[in-house]
């Protein structure tokens, strides 16, 4: 397939501005370059320009750094082969173009195109993904962002409590529990707790199933002597606390909705599929979700971030993407027996975290691992990787 390509196109994708493309024809040299805006009309016109450079879409190959985005989807939809390259590898290829370290959009696009022609084996092919796995990838990433926002808002609420009523932080150090938000919605400041109503607060604790402290302890924390603040600060803090509680409830509701979408997508991905030969095979989701330590969030992350590696059964690639494949350095005076082994840094942070939690839960829940009392170590993570393999 590599010898069938006659047009090599490199695209330097921009975050918000226009994209730069360069077409290379091998022995024919430069076939042209083009700059196009990030809009549906411009992207469509660019793809038409690329198709006009060759006799058929099968003769064109496109290289870029990101495997996702509207440009990639448009190219795949028109039958054009798309490959992506890790930015660190592109940085090494860039040194071949200029040892001085020069860098600009046109140079990067030209470097991508020429590297496609000479080192296609270093690139990774982008394959169209099933819609259910695209949904899992987007939903798991959205949940991660929402959880980060939830933690940020909870930290702001904690700062307000540390300023006004530190005694409440003894009952909820992170200020991230719903019972605390419900109580603060009634009594945002210590001065408001003077009209403390036992029935309402008791109902809040009952609904939220809080049993680690009783009503009297909470009442004492609410009515504890407030920290002295400047005039006007208390009134301003009351409004901030109420607004933070509203924001926290909205974000938490969004997290629950995203988690419901993830569970729905996982249920759809579990179903068996029938190929063209009529043979029914078990889906990757059913296999992954049956492993020890894999739950809803970890399973969605594995299936969404490593879809192609799992589908191709390329477990060496999966271990590299997850950062659990060791990096061995044995050169010169350092023999294989004295090789230096380090942790892989170039990987997907989401996959690395997912594998860590998978190993941690498996060590607690799997009978063979539960017999040990030591904490999770690197070998547990590699054991989880062998489960995947």
pTM: 0.78
- In order of 258, 264, 280, 286, 356, the CA distances from 271 in angstroms are 21, 12, 10, 8, 27
202 Cα distance to chain centroid? 40
State what percent of residues in the chain have pLDDT above 70: 89
Binned at pLDDT 50, 70 and 90, residue 326 comes out as confident
**Residue 111, phi then psi, degrees to nearest 5:** -65, -40
Q: What is the CATH number of domain 137-258?
A: 1.10.287
Residue ranges per structural domain of the chain: 2-125, 137-258, 282-388
Q: What is the pLDDT of residues 67-81, one digit of tens each?
A: 888 999 999 999 999
pLDDT on residue 182: 94
d(CA 336, CA 342): 14
Q: What is the pLDDT of residues 117-165, one digit of tens each?
A: 999 988 989 888 888 999 999 999 999 999 999 999 999 999 999 888 8
Architecture of domain 2-125: 2-Layer Sandwich (3.30)
Of 44, 261, 253, 219, the closest CA to residue 132 belongs to 261
User: Does the structure show a pLDDT above 80 at 377?
Assistant: no
In which element (H, E) is residue 329 found? strand 327-329
State what percent of residues in the chain have pLDDT above 90: 43
**5: how many CB neighbours lie within 10 A of its CB?**
17
């Amino acid at each position: 397939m590599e010898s069938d390509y006659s047009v090599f196109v490199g695209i330097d994708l921009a975050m918000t501005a226009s994209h730069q493309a360069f077409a290379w024809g091998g022995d024919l040299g430069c076939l042209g370059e083009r700059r196009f805006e990030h809009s549906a009309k411009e992207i469509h016109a660019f793809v038409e320009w690329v198709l006009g450079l060759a006799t058929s879409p099968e003769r064109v190959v496109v290289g870029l750094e990101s495997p996702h985005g509207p440009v990639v989807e448009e190219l795949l939809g028109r039958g054009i082969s798309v490959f992506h390259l890790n930015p660190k590898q592109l940085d090494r290829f860039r040194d071949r173009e200029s040892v001085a370290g020069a860098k600009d959009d046109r140079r990067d696009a030209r470097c991508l195109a020429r590297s496609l022609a000479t080192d296609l084996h270093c690139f990774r092919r982008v394959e169209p993904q099933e819609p259910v796995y695209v949904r899992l990838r987007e939903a798991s990433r959205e949940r991660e962002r929402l959880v980060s926002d939830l933690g940020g808002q909870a930290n702001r609420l904690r700062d307000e409590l540390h300023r006004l009523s530190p005694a409440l932080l003894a009952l909820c150090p992170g200020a991230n529990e719903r019972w605390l938000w419900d109580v603060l919605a009634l009594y945002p400041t210590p001065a408001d707790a003077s009209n403390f109503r036992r029935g309402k607060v008791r109902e809040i604790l009952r609904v939220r199933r809080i049993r680690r402290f009783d009503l009297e302890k909470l009442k004492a924390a609410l009515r504890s002597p407030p920290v002295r603040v400047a005039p006007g600060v208390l009134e301003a803090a009351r409004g901030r606390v109420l607004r933070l509680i509203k924001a926290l409830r909205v974000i938490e509701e969004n997290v629950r909705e995203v988690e419901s979408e993830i569970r729905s997508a996982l249920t759809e991905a579990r179903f068996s599929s029938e190929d063209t030969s009529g043979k029914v095979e078990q889906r990757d989701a059913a296999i992954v979700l049956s492993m020890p330590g894999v739950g809803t969030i970890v399973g969605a992350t594995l299936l969404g971030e490593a879809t192609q590696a799992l589908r191709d059964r390329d477990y060496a690639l999966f271990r590299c993407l997850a950062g659990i494949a060791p990096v061995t350095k044995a050169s010169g005076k350092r023999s294989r027996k004295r090789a230096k082994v380090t942790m892989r840094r170039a990987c997907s942070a989401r996959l690395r975290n997912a594998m860590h939690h998978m190993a941690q839960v498996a060590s607690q829940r799997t009978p063979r691992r539960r017999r040990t009392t030591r904490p999770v170590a690197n070998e547990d993570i590699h054991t989880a990787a062998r489960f995947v393999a």
